[in-house]
């Protein structure tokens, strides 16, 4: 099976998933060096939103092709397989950001936005409309925040992105038929599975429980996950556990024992073996390495 490339930004090596960061750039910056062709790839843990203001092209999302007719918004959630073909006249902002902090903020402030964050969307915006006029100041504020390197950057960026998604919702609700990418039944099942994992990953539920919630057998769930995202269901759960463990090790002062317990591991030693097998180092070695990496990045700025 061919493995799709995972990028932080197309053509750049992906940053570790525990490292919070977001990026702002203009579409030509990334697409011109690749002759306006962005091959299918995924962003693991990152959401991407484009506001195409000029030019034209096509976007491919999860096997479906859509025409790009500006001005339009394009939302690419984490792990959606996507690629682009642009004309040389294309322009507009692109923001790439961690999806989970944005979802957490939306879950508190306006849960209705979660549907717009989690599904691919190609949404035309009426040129000169109030939505068109309101979107660019938000993207310009995101551009300033992305280059500021100041405390609270992720919080500020997530808040601005949330405001962008409020406008995404308003534009979508103002249309009789929102051109949201239609997901296959299999992809919809996998989306629901990932949502269930997000709710219950610390509980270490048996796979039969997840499959039952989805109305499929464990074998069917395994096939759906491999076909849609190239991972097994257990891989999805373990990746979520490791991601959370890494974040706690880097950003909290909790002991390894406390982190293990918070993630549902009764045995600290077993958690240590699990972490080393999946992450390639012991929890404490990872903590030291990651914090040193953050310190070097901070000094470089």
Domain spans, the chain: 23-173, 185-300
Task: Quickly name the fold that domain 23-173 has.
Answer: Jelly Rolls (2.60.120)
Selected residue with higher pLDDT from 15 and 123: 123
Q: Is 147 exposed, middle or buried (0-12, 13-18, 19+ CB in 10 A)?
A: exposed
Summarised one tens digit per residue, pLDDT across range 54-78 is: 999 999 887 778 899 999 999 999 8
Confidence of residue 200 (pLDDT cuts 50, 70, 90): very high
**Alpha carbon separation from 170 to 112, 115, 141 (Å, rounded):** 11, 13, 20
Summarised one tens digit per residue, pLDDT across range 220-247 is: 999 988 877 777 999 889 988 988 898 8
Q: Helical H runs in the chain?
A: 27-31, 99-109, 114-118, 130-146, 153-173, 185-200, 207-214, 218-229, 233-251, 256-262, 268-279, 283-300
pTM score, whole prediction = 0.62
**Tokens for 133?**
């006029």
Average pLDDT, the chain: 85
- CATH architecture, domain defined by 185-300: Orthogonal Bundle (1.10)
Summarised one tens digit per residue, pLDDT across range 80-131 is: 888 999 999 999 999 998 888 888 888 888 888 888 898 888 899 999 999 9
């Amino acid at each position: 099976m061919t493995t799709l490339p995972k990028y932080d930004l197309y053509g750049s090596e992906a940053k570790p998933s525990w490292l919070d960061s977001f990026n702002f750039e203009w579409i030509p910056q990334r697409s011109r060096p690749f002759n306006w062709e962005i091959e299918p790839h995924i962003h693991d843990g990152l959401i991407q939103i484009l506001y195409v203001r000029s030019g034209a092209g096509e976007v491919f999302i999860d096997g479906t092709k859509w025409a790009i007719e500006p001005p339009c918004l394009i939302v690419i959630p984490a792990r959606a397989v996507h690629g682009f073909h642009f004309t040389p006249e294309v322009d507009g902002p692109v923001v790439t950001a961690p999806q989970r902090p944005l979802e957490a903020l939306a879950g508190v402030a306006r849960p209705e936005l979660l549907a717009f964050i989690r599904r691919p969307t190609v949404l035309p915006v009426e040129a000169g409309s109030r939505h068109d006029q309101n979107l660019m100041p938000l993207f310009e504020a995101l551009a300033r925040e992305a280059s500021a390197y100041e405390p609270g950057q992720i919080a500020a960026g997530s808040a601005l992105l949330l405001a962008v998604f409020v406008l995404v919702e308003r534009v979508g609700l103002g249309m009789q038929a929102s051109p949201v990418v239609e997901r296959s039944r299999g992809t919809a099942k996998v989306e629901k599975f990932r949502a269930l994992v997000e709710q219950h990953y610390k509980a270490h539920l048996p796979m039969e429980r997840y499959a039952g919630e989805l109305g499929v057998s464990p074998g069917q769930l395994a096939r759906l996950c491999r076909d849609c995202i190239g991972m097994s269901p257990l891989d999805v759960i373990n990746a979520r556990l490791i991601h959370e463990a890494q974040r706690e090790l880097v950003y909290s002062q909790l002991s390894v024992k406390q982190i293990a317990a918070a993630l549902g591991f009764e045995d600290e030693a077993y958690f240590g073996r699990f972490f080393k097998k999946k992450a390639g180092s012991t929890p404490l070695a990872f903590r030291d390495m990651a914090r040193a990496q953050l310190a070097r990045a901070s000094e470089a700025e």
